[in-house]
Amino acid sequence: MSETLLTIANLKTRLGDAQHPIRVVDGVDITINKGETFALLGESGCGKSMTALSMMRLLPPSGRVIKGRVEFAGINLLSLSEREMRGVRGGSMGMIFQEPMTSLNPVLRIGEQIAESVRLHDKQLRGAVDDRVVALLDAVGIPDPTRRAREYPHQLSGGMKQRVMIAMALAGRPKLLIADEPTTALDVTIQAQVLKLLKGLQQETDMAILLITHDLGVVAETADRLAVMYAGQIVETAEVDGFFKGPKHPYSRKLFDSLPDSRKRDEKLAVIEGSVPSLDSYFKGCRFTGRCDVSSDRCHREIPKWRQLDEQTGVRCLLYAYDAMLPGEKKEQDTVLHSPRRLTQENLLNVQNLKVHFPIQKGIFKRVVGYVRAVDGIDLSIPKGTTLALVGESGCGKTTVGKGILQLIRPTDGRVQLEEDELTLLKGEALRRRRADMQIIFQDPMSSMNPRMLVGNIIAEGMQAQRMYNRQQRENRVSELLQQVGLSADAAKRYPHEFSGGQRQRICVARALAVEPRLIVCDEPTSALDVSVQAQILNLLKQLQNELDLSYLFITHNISVVSYLADQVAVMYLGRIVEKGNVDEVLKNPAHPYTQALLSAVPVPDPNHQSSIIQLEGDMPSPANPPSGCHFHPRCPAAKKNCATEYPHETQLSDSHHVNCWLVT
């Protein structure tokens, strides 16, 4: 029998004033056993992080726990004074936050920040704090820990900063580690390293982990049990194996149906219409009713109670409310196919030997002492009406390629030909006119829109700059575009902050379409979105491509999105493309060791999936000082002697499949 470490019973947390309370956590029950990984799964805004902050007593000033019990290692945390609670936080209960850079002090060295936790929570080591700091950095896999302890956060990569956060959380030798989306902002290779690290530390220390995430693949690979959260409530609990074999709640099923993969390439992804309901609402029925495709009239009238199906499995759904009723099976739906793609061999875009080098300057006179080779000689082409996915780790130069193609950054060398025009030779008014044919959708929709402008003005801005239409025609065009991307026309009279993340990304798509482009650069447009919202955006992009014959350069590190959306894929490493080809060729038969490592690290939403992850040691080298020979050879598990001396030439494996690697020449 497993020993219970944490018990949360009927926890209720409110934000705001008493007249208009926001019910962010509304009667949550969770138990976590010693040494297990428990996943809390759900969309943004459902209350996952607020549940953890309520446990830790770290609520914002307007937040308060109004009811419930949080018992940790036999202690009721809600009855402790703030002074006593400080001994628990960072001590027997540690927390890793989603964004490590905002959690680390930028003006303190890494070692000093970890030492602060050691002094506070490990008092028997008062005379050996520095040794403990180095040991913690070594335990989380940071090379040369003594030197790294003297560095500042900005000197570390994203993966290393996350490892530092883990080291700080471990300083108090915690019994429970709360990991709030610990890998969301990381590349798949770094994500694999962090997840392996957490597993190893858990086995060594018998620590329990509460993993907050919306990634089903991460849950499948790491968790023992899970709870699905929706609108402030737990709607399903299960062991991981049972959950992935057959989720019970309609919301859980929809999450699975929204996942993109190659088998759904010619179909529309299932979407969960609407969004999580406002938590200041007074609910008279099931909270998921408005988005559920198997709901009945009773679901609108009756609040579902918790139903325990067996020792580990429970569900909050009226389909399971009465013994006489059979559990609701997933309703079979007609498969909705995308219109057949009008493929052509005629290229819309041709890029040859593109280079973008940034000078490194020193001294008073700004003497150039070197270059950051962000993009170092790439070739690619995109046929009309198709999608080329550009994949690789953060810092490899993907976004710079997109900006170089659009001439937002002027290339150092190379050619960028859009149909008959050589864009690198265009200037002034000629380039401004050509920009109507090429647009960009940025990763973060909120930061790419002026928060003080109405949505209608944001969308019309490009048309105004291109002198397209008169004022009335622009207003009509804005209404058409909003409806085309699935929003109402009156959205034009609202501000960006009034929309959800998925709706804001739709507005950015409408803005890109406003000037009737031929090519759209999509720079990680779904990386910050929940899986259900991601499905909406992917469906929209496919639909628009079929209707308008658009071409996409889709920059991403999400391989499942690539397999669903792309026709071709190019894999980039340290400023150069190392492999490219049709999507099936590259994803099913990767030839380059780097591509193989990327694909092996992708979490698969199947706990029984057997795969051997190729662990890449260290981080990507600096583009200011790339390694000699093949740039990948210092991290390559199959490197040979000549890999360190000469860059491999391109080898053609088929008419469309090309690779730069000495192992396949």
In which band, very low, low, confident or very high, does the pLDDT at 93 lie, cut at 50, 70 and 90? Answer: very high
Q: Which residues pair with 571 in a beta bridge?
A: 391, 579
Domain boundary among 171, 204, 224: 171
Query: Residue 540 pairs with which residues in a beta bridge?
Result: none
Cα–Cα nearest to 418, from 409, 428, 431: 431
> What average pLDDT does range 467-485 have in this prediction?
92
pLDDT in tens, 29-55: 999 999 999 999 988 888 899 999 999
Contact of 425 with 506, CB cutoff 8 Å = no
Q: Is residue 636 part of a domain?
A: yes
Q: Domain check: are 214 and 276 in the same one?
A: yes
**pLDDT at residue 304 tops 60:** yes
Please check whether residue 503 lies inside any domain of the structure.
no
pLDDT grade for 552, boundaries at 50, 70 and 90: very high
Please report the pLDDT score of residue 334 as a whole number.
47
Nearest to 396 by CA among 566, 571, 158: 571
Average pLDDT over residues 506-535: 89
Q: What is the pLDDT of residue 502?
A: 76
Asked, for residue 488, whether it belongs to a domain, the answer is no
Query: For the segment 247-273, what is each residue's pLDDT rounded down to a tens digit?
Result: 999 999 999 999 998 888 888 888 887
Count CA within 13 A, CB hemisphere, residue 237.
18
50, part of any domain: yes
Structure tokens given for 334: 């007609």
What are the helix and strand counts (H, E) for the chain? Answer: 21, 24
Counted domains in the chain: 3
pLDDT confidence of residue 338: 59
Looking at the DSSP assignment, which residues form a beta bridge with residue 41?
A: 213, 228
Report the CATH number at residue 599.
3.40.50.300
d(CA 268, CA 606): 22
Give the end-to-end CA distance of the chain in Å, rounded to a whole number: 57
Which residues are CB-contacts of 181 (< 8 A; sequence separation ≥ 6)? 98, 212, 213, 214
Q: What is the pLDDT of residues 144-156, one digit of tens each?
A: 889 899 999 988 8
276-297 burial, b for 16+ CB within 10 Å, e for fewer? bbebeeeeebbbbbebbeebee
pLDDT at position 631: 95
**Ramachandran sector of residue 45 (left: φ over 0; alpha: ψ -120 to 50; beta: rest):** left
Position 468 in a domain = no
Q: In the predicted model, what is the mean pLDDT of residues 311-327?
A: 75
**pLDDT computed for residue 444 by the predictor:** 80
Q: Per-residue pLDDT for 325 more than 80?
A: no
Both structure tokens of 623:
């583009």
Domain enclosing residue 208, as ranges? 1-92+174-248+269-333
pLDDT of 592-610, one tens digit each?
A: 999 999 999 888 888 888 7
- Beta pairing partners, 511: none
Q: Answer for the pair 56, 89: CB distance below 8 angstroms, yes or no.
A: yes
Distance CA 569, CA 172 (A): 45
* Residues 165 and 184 reside in one and the same domain: no
- pLDDT reported for residue 276: 81
Number of residues written out for the chain: 665
Do 563 and 603 lie in a common domain?
yes
CA distance linking residue 75 with residue 88, whole number of Å:
10
CB atoms within 10 A of CB 551: 23
The least confident of 356-370, 521-535, 541-555 is 521-535
Q: How sure is the predictor about 208, in pLDDT bands with cuts at 50, 70 and 90?
A: very high
338-363 pLDDT, tens digit per residue, is 555 555 568 999 999 999 999 999 98
Check pLDDT > 50 for residue 333. no
Cβ distance 249 to 637 under 8 Å?
Answer: no
**pLDDT number for residue 536:** 86
Query: Residues 451-464: what's their mean pLDDT?
Result: 95
Under the banding of pLDDT at 50, 70 and 90, the label for residue 488 is confident
User: Do the Cβ atoms of 188 and 195 come closer than 8 Å?
Assistant: no
Q: Which two tokens stand for residue 275?
A: 């969004």
What average pLDDT does the segment 114-129 reach?
A: 81
Both tokens of 381, joined, read: 């082409």
Is 528 found in the same domain as 635? yes
Task: Kindly tell me if the per-residue pLDDT of 636 is higher than 90.
Answer: yes
**Joined tokens for residue 37:** 């990984």
Q: Does 24 share its domain with 143?
A: no
Q: How far apart are alpha carbons 29 and 619 in whole angstroms?
A: 41
More confident of the two residues 171 and 589: 589
Measuring CA to CA, how many Å separate 522 from each of 395, 483, 538, 627? 17, 21, 11, 30
106-133: string of b/e by CB count within 10 Å (b at 16+)?
eeebbbebbbbbbeebbeebeeebeebb
The Cα–Cα gap between 358 and 106 comes to: 25
326 has a pLDDT exceeding 60 = no
- Please tell me whether residue 599 adopts helix, strand or coil conformation: helix
Which of 273-282's residues contact partners 24+ apart within 8 Å by CB, and which partners? 275/45, 275/500, 275/502, 275/503, 276/43, 276/44, 276/45, 276/46, 276/230, 276/231, 277/231, 279/22, 279/23, 279/24, 279/26, 279/45, 279/47, 279/231, 279/232, 280/16, 280/20, 280/21, 280/22, 280/23
404-413 pLDDT tens trace:
999 999 999 9
Same domain, 567 and 651: yes
Residue 539 CA to residue 338 CA, distance in Å, equals: 9
Domain identity same for 206 and 295: yes
Domain-ending residue, one of 310, 333, 356: 333
On whether residue 357 sits in a domain, the answer given is yes
Residues 542 and 583 in one domain: yes
With a cut of 60, say whether residue 327 has pLDDT above it: no
User: What are the pLDDT digits (tens) for 48-87?
Assistant: 999 999 999 999 898 999 999 999 999 999 999 999 998 8
Domain check: are 578 and 640 in the same one? Answer: yes
Helix (H) or strand (E) holding 431: helix 428-434
Please report whether residue 316 resides in a domain: yes
Average pLDDT over the chain, rounded to an integer: 89
- Domain edge (last residue) among 127, 151, 171: 171
Please give the pLDDT value at position 343: 55
List pLDDT tens digits, range 286-298: 999 988 989 889 9
Does 483 fall in a domain?
no
Specify the pLDDT at position 617: 75
Q: Please tell me whether residues 370 and 317 are part of one structural domain.
A: no
Give the C-alpha separation, 447 to 472, whole Å. 28
* Judgement on whether residues 239 and 372 belong to the same structural domain of the protein: no
Cα distance between residue 201 and residue 204, in whole Å: 5
Co-location of 575 and 524 in the same domain: yes
What the block records as the tokens of 441 is 């959708």
> What pLDDT shows up at residue 17?
84
pLDDT score recorded for residue 482: 92
Give the CA count within 13 Å in the CB-facing half-sphere of 494: 15
pLDDT value at residue 380: 95
Task: Reply yes or no on whether the pLDDT at 331 is more than 50.
Answer: no
- Percent of the chain predicted with pLDDT > 70: 95
Model pLDDT, residue 97? 80
